[in-house]
Chain A
Amino acid sequence: MNDFSASKAYFERAAKVIPGGIYGSKSPGFLVPGRFPYYLSRGAGSRIYDVDGNEFIDYLCGYGSQIVGYGNPAVDGPALEQARKGDLLNQPHPAMVELAERLVALVEGMDWAVFVKNGTDATTLATSIARADTGKQIIVAADGAYHGAANWCSTNVFPVFTQAEQRDIRFFPYNDIAALEARFAEERGKIACLILTPYHHPTYKPQQLPSPEFIQAAERLCRAEGAWFIVDDIRANFRLDARGSHVYFGAHPDLVTMGKALANGYPISVLMGSEKLRKTASSFFITGTYWMSAVPMIAALATLDEMERMGGTARLAQLGGMLREGLEKLGREAGFGARVSGPPAIPYLTFDEDPDLYLNQRFCAAMADRGVFMHPHHNWFISLAHTEDDIARTLEAARGAFSRLSP
């Protein structure tokens, strides 16, 4: 097992001055405490290094934000050059125009772009614009979907929020057409928008791809209701199809949010929309102190170039496919119903025989012992910095980890 004494010492210090020590999804309790590092000091390519000096092949990729690798000079070079010249200026940098033009040309069906910082900013803005445009209140979303940490969509289900910001959110089981139809029937005339991730990636559960019929039903119901269809592509963007994950699944949204991989870890997200919503977006007061900072926009432009140079989504799918096939085969050989769900570039392993996740936790802890960072409760990410050698080493580690689980 790795030594995490420096991580633990930082955590004890943090406990005195930061609520929970480390809050939110990075909390040690979300991993397997004691088997994963709490504090990281650097990353390079596909590797991360913790404050104790342990090295890991990383399959969390900064929760998806690293798509061309940590410290990629093709991105960091121009970004750092702009940082020296000035990042947050009074007025936008021309890179904002260039990035908007580039994205509008790239992302299918989208005619304008608004830049924000986090995924929550983008999804909140998307639903707000939908509400403002329709004059209707209700937002329909899938059970267990994550659309951010604002009060309207977070898991902070205190009554003060459920009776206010969460009051008009309605849920249905993902991929369940009858349930979605029922929701639309119950709330007829009141629905502002349907917000869906391009595929379902709930925490703690196998991922689900949408059926074509489900996508068609979603679009049909939105059109009939006069509600806008939002695809929240924050987590998956650029890993399935550079034109937007909605293209991968044959969907035709009115609004799309993207983030994470957009600038390889630099803080920027985007809300994009169709022509039909331009007027409402134009009349909306949209601002944030850091929302127009130049460095992330320059990083995003460089990331788009670098993704293409490194092989893009085809390469991600190839590497992810190798990992999936290898893990499932090794799992079967060890006597487990190990199943990798989700698209190849965003895999997640679960065990058919263990819905309670004990095996996930033990497997991922055993992988961490062997220098591979795979989250037991959150989907993983492939980056273009991963190599065939990384996958081979990962599978070798997995062979040992599965053997540790064997009864």
Chain B
Amino acid sequence: MKVNFAQLNQEEQRVMARLKATLALRLAEEAWRADPGLRAGSPARGVAMKIALGGAGPSIPLDIPASDSLGDTRGGSAPNSAPSSALSRRPALALYFPSAVAAMKVLSGAKGLAIPLPLGAGAFGALAFFRRASSRATEMLRDPATPGNIKARLLLAATLFGLEAIAGESYLARRMHIVPDGAVRVSVEEIEYFVVKNGNSIRVLRTVAGSSAPVHADAELSFSDCRSAIEVLSGARQAVIALGSGQVRIEGLLPLVQGLFAVLDRLSWYMGVEL
């Protein structure tokens, strides 16, 4: 059933705004990793900024390293395994949305109030980069010519960080209560994340290809290939069907993975909310 933003209750509007902001930042980050052109055009000093949402929880950071301190980005590998909530330095810019509806509008491409607050040198370069990278991420997701590994990476980031953004919602409280705590290693080909569930929060960790796991994996969820990941993560194929047909494999603490599937259902619901 289609739902409009105005039909959501206050908490849902706040969660929706937070989800939109999280996805915009994380997809911008992934686009930067995937697109050499975007990396080449990014500010030499890197980008440190955050989105602040009036009344919708703590700010959400974006931390793009300086061009002379890049890690191994071959194949889109991440430069660190830090949680997405951490900023390694002082942000140059806060993009402030005074309300959930403002964030929903602007981050959906409509007109709305967004206030860029410069906090240091490089503020406007950061803003320009964010706009360019967000738009590039959307292009890459829509373009059928985008290589499968890049599309899978973008979709995986959107999905996992989406879970992180909505996990604390009261709607999910009982579900999160009965799901055991633990970490799930999620992988497809060379792409790897760890999703750590603790109480009613979810934290997503990227890992550097070839490095040791940041936490013990209580469960493993792996896609057989990027095509399967794209089918499942884009909603073209149900996860339970993909499991049965061998496109997805889960091992270990099943109730943890199954519990996250339920959070995923809620994420799908949010992704269907229209402006």
Contact = CB atoms under 8 A, between A and B. Distances in A.
A302 B171 CA distance: 49
Interface residues of A, number: 27
A155 interface: yes
A33 B238 contact: no
A368 to B, nearest CB: 15
Nearest to A171: B178
Given A33-B246, A157-B174, A15 B252 contact: no
Contacts of B211: none
B244 A15 contact: yes
B248 to A, nearest CB: 8
Contacts of B218: 356
B244 A357 contact: no
Given A356-B252, A357-B254, A361-B251, A11 B244 contact: yes
B81 to A, nearest CB: 21
A358 B262 CA distance: 22
B174 A159 contact: yes
A21 interface: yes
Interface string B242-259: 011110011111110010
A8 interface: yes
Interface string A7-34: 0100110010000111000011110011
A356 B245 CA distance: 23
A157 B171 CA distance: 10
Contacts of A361: 251-252
A377 interface: yes
Contact of B251 (A21, A355, A358): A358
* Residue among B171, B174, B178, B241 with the highest chain A CB neighbour number at 10 A: B241
Contacts of B246: 8, 33-34
Contacts, number: 64
B175 interface: yes
A236 B232 CA distance: 39
Interface in A345-391: 355-358, 361, 377
Interface string B165-178: 00000110011001
B244 A28 contact: yes
A200 to B, nearest CB: 16
A139 to B, nearest CB: 16
B242 to A, nearest CB: 9
Contacts of B238: 15, 20
Nearest to B266: A158
* Residue among B178, B182, B243 with the highest chain A CB neighbour number at 10 A: B243
Contacts of A11: 241, 244-245
Contacts of B178: 155, 157
Given A21-B241, A29-B250, A361-B251, 11 more contacts: A12-B245, A15-B238, A15-B244, A21-B244, A22-B244, A28-B243, A29-B254, A166-B174, A356-B252, A357-B253, A377-B254
14 contacts: A11-B245, A15-B245, A20-B240, A21-B244, A22-B244, A29-B243, A29-B254, A33-B249, A159-B170, A166-B174, A203-B255, A356-B182, A357-B252, A358-B252
Interface of A: 8, 11-12, 15, 20-22, 27-30, 33-34, 38, 155, 157, 159, 162, 166, 203-204, 355-358, 361, 377
